[in-house]
Amino acid sequence: MSFHFFSRFIKHRSFHRLRRIMRGYRFLKDSESLSRIADINRALTTQPLNIKEKCYSKYIFGEGIGQAALVCRQYLLTRVAGLNLNRALLYALGRPGSSVVYYLPPEWRKSIRNQGFKIAPFRMALLWQAFVGIMLAYGVLKIAKIILNGIKTARDQSTQKLGRYVYFEGLVPGNLPQPCKDGRSHDVISWYMQWSGRISDIEAICHSVIGTVPKAVDGTRVVPVKSAIPPLSGLWPLMRFLAWGIGASTVALVGFFMGRWWHALLLNQAALAAQVRMQNPERLAKDYLFHNSGWIYRPLWTYEAEKRGSRMTFYFYSANCEAFKRPDGYPPLPYGFQAMNWPHYLVWDEYQSDFVRRAVGETANSTVVGCIWFHCSAEDIPEFSGRGVAVFDVTPHRSSRYRILGVDFEVYVPKTCIQFLHDIQQVTKDAGYTMLWKSKRKLKNASLAHPAYLSFAERLSRYENVITIDSDISAYRVIEASKLVISMPFTSTALIARELGKPSCYYDPTGLVQKDDRAAHGIEIIRGPEELTHWLKGIPVEPRISEVIVT
């Protein structure tokens, strides 16, 4: 009985909180001030923490000491800002006169107040101390875990030998080589192996997708490992790390009670950096590759690895990074990008290279490599006859999710996304094309997708000229099987189509997207069904092929 009562209480509180967040969003929208949330996140991206350089301990930050202030800000942006902060701000706005109650460092509390929000200073300070205390405990546990893993490794004689290897961070099973019938897998590891700038003479490519079967690409092993950083091995490295751990924990604990919260906050990251520092450099990867899902925080340990000869590579698997241009010009850069400081960026084209320079400065080291493969599936495209039009949209979030994103220019909403698909279905049907629709996300059991969109998608799939393509299938395969490509602004598929020599456009059913928006990367922007019909008529029509087209 008590469990059911507690469960009902939690559900009631969650529902009450959600309703209040929704009211806060409606308040911003009705007052035409949706940009307030985005403005705060942008301000925190660039705002210094006002901590003197001498207050950062080299014992904690190691080789990252020269970037300690930025490392601290990056870590805060990933752990404190973003969606959770958005929820707290909207919750406060959901009741007139309410204060923001959320764990923030002192400098950021002032920034929130300067943006016109009322704050609860005592409760926020208390929550912040509790959060830092938890992070301190987590750091101590991380140190203990590294030591225990090192002891376990020393006893385990079956540890695999990797030789010269590279490591991919943050991959999922679909990013690994797939057993496609034609032998071509459009995954990021296969892309890396054909890239001229890759590290040569490697014996293995490693990733953290545990449970997958080891594979091979062009004779190079593709193997899962538990961590980007090899466990410590040998008595001397373990003893050194233990001594460092005791000292670092002491520095962090003393700093916690003195108000120097940054050492306690980053103790867990400092432990990983120390683990790298005490490694034999030959055991580290020759290249560590990070993708743009985690664009803000450059891990503290990467400074140690770079010092020891490893290369740090940041690559964009997507070109859709910029905010939409408004009638009065371009808005500030999206949240987080101006805090980046990766040593090397792989970009798709000069447009994206320009974006990186605008974000981090003219000295940014970027290399144009063309479109980067990322996700693939071995599943085949369904058979179809006639001329195919590949269509790529964006799946709109349900309202409870969308409203905490802090979006201040509403394009990816159900009304627009539904109109996008509806118009294309009608126009392609009239022009005699088959619509090959590949949604961005799996729609079956899609808990975050908007119900109205899901309902329309179900109806759309029943039309005779519409073929739904599994979202896991590589966009490259769909585009190769098509005559032309229509994408929602500003998805990356339009650029892939251009690279493959296919006619490509962005379709905007609303007229909100500016025709000269640089985020289009030079791809034509089509507005409304009439323009789309005219664009289709301008595409050279090849004689119809009677036989079935199969990829």
For 382-406, how does the pLDDT look when each residue is reduced to its tens digit (9 = 90+)?
999 889 999 999 999 999 999 999 9
Q: Indicate whether 503 belongs to any domain.
A: yes
Classify strands 220-224 and 387-392 as parallel, antiparallel or unpaired: unpaired
**Lowest-pLDDT choice from 5-19, 313-327, 410-424, 504-518:** 5-19
Q: Indicate whether 551 belongs to any domain.
A: no
In the chain, how long is the greatest CA-to-CA distance?
Answer: 78
72 and 195 in one domain? no
**pLDDT value at position 305?**
99
Q: Token match 């000229």: residue?
A: 465
State the average pLDDT over residues 22-27: 96
Decide if 211 contacts 226 (C-beta within 8 A).
no
Quick one: which of 134, 46, 131, 28 has its CA closest to 86?
28
203 and 66 in one domain? no
**pLDDT value at position 10?**
73
CA-to-CA distance for 243 and 49, rounded, in angstroms? 30
**pLDDT value at position 497?**
99
299 and 422 in one domain? no
Q: Indicate whether 543 belongs to any domain.
A: no
Q: Cα–Cα distances in Å, from 359 out to 29, 81, 180, 332, 490?
A: 28, 19, 38, 10, 19
Q: Indicate whether 550 belongs to any domain.
A: no
- Integer distance in angstroms from the first to the last C-alpha of the chain? 58
405-414 burial string, b = 16+ CB within 10 Å, else e?
ebbbeebbbb
CA-to-CA distance for 361 and 338, rounded, in angstroms? 9
| Burial zone of 456 (CB within 10 Å; 0-12 exposed, 13-18 middle, 19+ buried) | middle
Q: Token match 């469990």: residue?
A: 3
296 and 148 in one domain? no
CA-to-CA distance for 464 and 461, rounded, in angstroms? 8
Element (H, E) at 207: strand 204-207
pLDDT digits (tens, 9 = 90+) for 279-292: 999 999 999 999 99
Q: Helix, strand or coil for residue 474?
A: coil
Range of the domain at 529: 387-537
330 and 472 in one domain? no
- Domain termination site, one of 327, 353, 378: 378
pLDDT digits (tens, 9 = 90+) for 49-81: 999 999 999 999 999 999 999 999 999 999 999
391 and 354 in one domain? no
**pLDDT value at position 13?**
79
**pLDDT value at position 544?**
46
Angle at alpha carbon of residue 516, lines to 510 and 521, rounded to 5°? 100
CA-to-CA distance for 551 and 529, rounded, in angstroms? 29
pLDDT digits (tens, 9 = 90+) for 223-280: 999 999 999 988 999 999 999 999 999 999 999 999 999 999 999 999 999 999 999 9
State the average pLDDT over residues 494-502: 98
State the average pLDDT over residues 303-331: 97
**pLDDT value at position 542?**
59
- Domain termination site, one of 378, 402, 436: 378
- Domain termination site, one of 61, 88, 119: 119
- Count of domains for the chain: 4
Quick one: which of 83, 92, 120 has its CA closest to 24?
92
Q: Indicate whether 27 belongs to any domain.
A: yes
* DSSP, res 509: S
351 and 202 in one domain? yes
416 and 332 in one domain? no
202 and 298 in one domain? yes
Q: Helix, strand or coil for residue 66?
A: helix
Decide if 194 contacts 155 (C-beta within 8 A).
no
Decide if 168 contacts 342 (C-beta within 8 A).
no
465 and 455 in one domain? yes
Q: What percent of the chain has pLDDT over 70?
A: 95
Does 549 score more than 50 pLDDT? no
Decide if 381 contacts 337 (C-beta within 8 A).
no
Higher-confidence position of 181 and 194:
194
Q: Indicate whether 243 belongs to any domain.
A: yes
Q: Name the packing angle between helices 106-114 and 35-46 (round to 10°).
A: 140
157 falls in which pLDDT band (50, 70, 90)?
low
137 falls in which pLDDT band (50, 70, 90)?
very high
Q: Which residues contact 31 (CB under 8 A, 6 or more apart)?
A: none
**pLDDT value at position 14?**
84
Decide if 511 contacts 418 (C-beta within 8 A).
no
CA-to-CA distance for 272 and 146, rounded, in angstroms? 8
CA-to-CA distance for 168 and 208, rounded, in angstroms? 8
Alpha helices in 311-413 (DSSP H): 350-360, 399-402
Q: Indicate whether 545 belongs to any domain.
A: no
DSSP per-residue string spanning 278-326? TS-GGGS-SEEEEEGGG-S---THHHHHHHTT-EEEEE-S-S--SPPPB
**pLDDT value at position 6?**
62
Structure-token pair, residue 176? 């690994």
Structure-token pair, residue 138? 């987590």
104 and 33 in one domain? yes
440 falls in which pLDDT band (50, 70, 90)?
confident
Beta strands in 324-396 (DSSP E): 345-347, 366-368, 387-392
Output the domain CATH number for residue 458: 3.40.50.2000
**pLDDT value at position 5?**
60
130 and 70 in one domain? no
**pLDDT value at position 12?**
66
Output the domain CATH number for residue 205: 3.40.50
Q: Indicate whether 405 belongs to any domain.
A: yes
CA-to-CA distance for 324 and 193, rounded, in angstroms? 34
**pLDDT value at position 407?**
92
CA-to-CA distance for 2 and 5, rounded, in angstroms? 5
